[in-house]
Amino acid sequence: MTNHLLDHTAEDTFLMCAPDHFEVSYVINPWMAGNIAHGNRSVAMEQWLALVEAIGQVAKIKMMPAMPGVPDLVFTANAGVVLGNKVVLSRFRHVERQAEEVYFDAAFTAHGFEVLTLPPELPFEGAGDALMDRSENLLWFGHGHRSDIACATRLSELLEIEVQPLKLVDARFYHLDTCFCPLAGGYVMYFPEAFDAASQAEIMARVPADKRIIVSSEDALHFACNTVNSGRHIFLNQASDALVAQLQAHGFVVHQTALTEFLKAGGAAKCLTLKLNEPHQSAAQAAR
């Protein structure tokens, strides 16, 4: 039962954007503090290319154009949330990132998506905070830092899907994808302390104990939860031997690829990608 889902070789497609203009030039999360002008763009480019190379072994990658003046555009996870051929476009909380919205809108239109928007007063940061479960037709939604809780109802209506809000309470884990990752086979890898008690209880109520992969604070601070998952493959910045062993025991193959330059901006592997193929789970399961 466990492994046949992982054996399914998905032809996943991820959207990425080259770090031609990547730098830390403002501070909108605790990771960026002290890092203004402390980056090395050629190292960032090498690390990003290594991630492209690694993911490219198992999935397709579509590139969107890099643009000057929007240094965080590399974090395509924040473009919007995709379901089927629809995407709900992000509306960034901080003015520093709002200029990215038109570029993400253009990229989605170029890839044939129907682009939907939320009411103007509601900040929403896409697949940074909205993650599809991998076994149920359910959207996990992080709020408390960047995305507004009121988006939960709107997302549910626009995408016709059940939404489970989760409240984030640690400023270092300011997006859901920094501390929570649904994986193939219905597993969920997460750092519990990043959530309030009620949200921890919701996760435990929805995800059976044998499907929960608990991440230590040490691994979480290395952005281990910020994982790109395609079938049985997992791509992340860094994981302890214990976490690697735990993931392997569930049938996953772990690829560690250093993304330290992007950690200076508060991002890693998952933030640098957006999965473009997100079928409704019921349809996906029927097709198996």
Residues 188-247 that bind ligand ARG (CB under 6 A): none
Beta carbon nearer to ligand ARG, 12 or 100: 100
Beta partners for 63?
Answer: 16
Beta carbon nearer to ligand ARG, 96 or 284: 96
CA 214 – CA 286 distance, rounded (Å): 30
CA 61 – CA 63 distance, rounded (Å): 6
Beta carbon of residue 86, minimum distance to ligand ARG (angstroms, whole number): 20
Contacts of 222 (CB under 8 A, 6+ apart): 237, 238, 239
Residues 60-79 that bind ligand ARG (CB under 6 A): 72, 75, 77-78
Beta carbon nearer to ligand ARG, 5 or 44: 44
Catalytic status, residue 151 = no
Residues 176-195 that bind ligand ARG (CB under 6 A): 177-178
Residues 98-137 that bind ligand ARG (CB under 6 A): 128
Q: Which of 142, 111, 109 is nearest to 124 (CA)?
A: 142
In 204-252, which ranges are E strands? 212-214, 228-230, 233-236
Binding range to ligand ARG, per CB under 6 A, among 51-59, 173-181, 184-192, 198-206:
173-181
Tokens, residue 122: 């509601």
In 168-286, which ranges are E strands? 180-183, 187-190, 212-214, 228-230, 233-236, 253-256, 274-275
Beta carbon nearer to ligand ARG, 177 or 219: 177
Active-site residue (options: 175, 222, 233, 255): 175
- Would you count residue 175 as binding ligand ARG (CB under 6 A)? yes
Contacts of 250 (CB under 8 A, 6+ apart): 2, 185, 187, 213
| Binding-site ranges for ligand ARG (CB under 6 A) | 28-29, 32, 72, 75, 77-78, 97, 128, 175, 177-178, 265-267, 271
Active site residues: 175, 271
